[in-house]
Structure 1
Amino acid sequence: MKIKSLSLRSIGPFIEADMEFFDDSDEKPPIVLISGENGTGKSIILDAIRGMFGENYCKLSRNISRKEPKGSYITIQIPVSECLDPCDLTENPADHLTFDKEIIRSKNASPKGMKTIQKYKLDRGESDHLRRKQLVLFYETLIKLQQRQIDQGRKSLTRDELEILRSFKQTDHAFSLMLSLLLAKIGY
């Protein structure tokens, strides 16, 4: 994976720091060397990167956040060419990603799938919570529509009801890939 840039705000000795490792015009990204005097923040840069990619902050070797009123934050930019672009409709995310219950996984160890999970932090607990919330909303909608079908003595959902379910898999909808796979799995 190639990190394009890193921004640190109120992290360790860095009040505001923007580091660009390469730009889009570079044919081959350079090798990045981080050097400096003792105590200048080299390890904190690495800890910040580790923290962004899922390392539990409690396990990091030091507390890297400063006690600032505006708060601390870290931003890492990874080129979209390294992973799936959710706005690019030419590539099928299902070729690289799959869902096991509410957990997202790289399909067949797809490098692009793994990089997409890392870039969008899809393996974090917060994402799992949001996916669960979306699944609950989907299942509540499905149950309500199926109950209406039963109450009205129909054999199938109406066209409008099917459209409501299918709206969950539109690309502008949160977790559309997961819900698209789920709809296919249950026959809608």
Structure 2
Amino acid sequence: MSAKKILMITGDFTEDYETMVPFQTLLAMGYTVDAVCPGKKAGETVATCIHDFEGDQTYSEKRGHNFTLNATFADVDVAGYDALVIPGGRAPEYLRLDAAVIDAVKHFMDAAKPVAAICHGAQILTAAKVIEGRTVSAYPACRPEVELAGATYAEIAIDGAVTDGNLVTAPAWPAHPAWLSQFHAVLSGAAEGSLAA
């Protein structure tokens, strides 16, 4: 269906569903997806965590699966990719400190290539200073960072997503159907302007 090549930047204690579900879904849709982590090689794994909503004031966290990387971050040439996926979880808080990750994000945003970020993935977008003037969804705890970065925080349902040009964002894994559907629309050129669902 599509020969488009997608880069997924993830790391230790990435959110399990927000890594595995988009990785597998995009592969099933016919895209090529390379999952990478700074400092790790193809065949190595990242630890994942599972964030759940169990009635407490914030999400709970449990150890998830080991997710196997299929490409080596140090070998990646971002110019060879058509799109970028940034999962959430705890990984973004340290990945945003990596200059090569920030440079990669800037490449995709500066080139207006499709970018999908979910939950705490917005922490990488804010650190890269690429969302000023945009409408962005993220986990509610990231709202201050989104607004300090000059973006409008999208107040949408936990299972919703928002598209602003080439950027598709969502608050958390319950949004996978909306988030991945909107990202697919952007990838296939079917999305126009802004939309939220």
The TM tier, using the shorter chain, reads under 0.3
Using the size of structure 2 for normalisation, the TM-score is: 0.22
Using the size of structure 1 for normalisation, the TM-score is: 0.23
Which has the larger strand fraction?
A: 2
